[in-house]
Amino acid sequence: MIKNRTGNKIDISNLTQGVYFVKVEDVNGNFGVKKIVKNNYVDKR
């Protein structure tokens, strides 16, 4: 969990592949949830 973060980027390079849900909340209590699918697949054609 990351709290009190400003900016618009989050480093997810250390996470394993999978599905993650990110809840973003502003200072007024408004929030949104985004689904992130991290796939470590590399096409080696």
- What pLDDT does 43 receive? 78
- What pLDDT does 32 receive? 94
Contact 22, 31 (CB under 8 A): no
Segments of the chain with pLDDT less than 70: 1-7
- What pLDDT does 17 receive? 93
Residues in Cβ contact with 24 at an 8 Å cutoff, skipping those fewer than 6 apart = 31, 32, 33, 34
- What pLDDT does 31 receive? 93
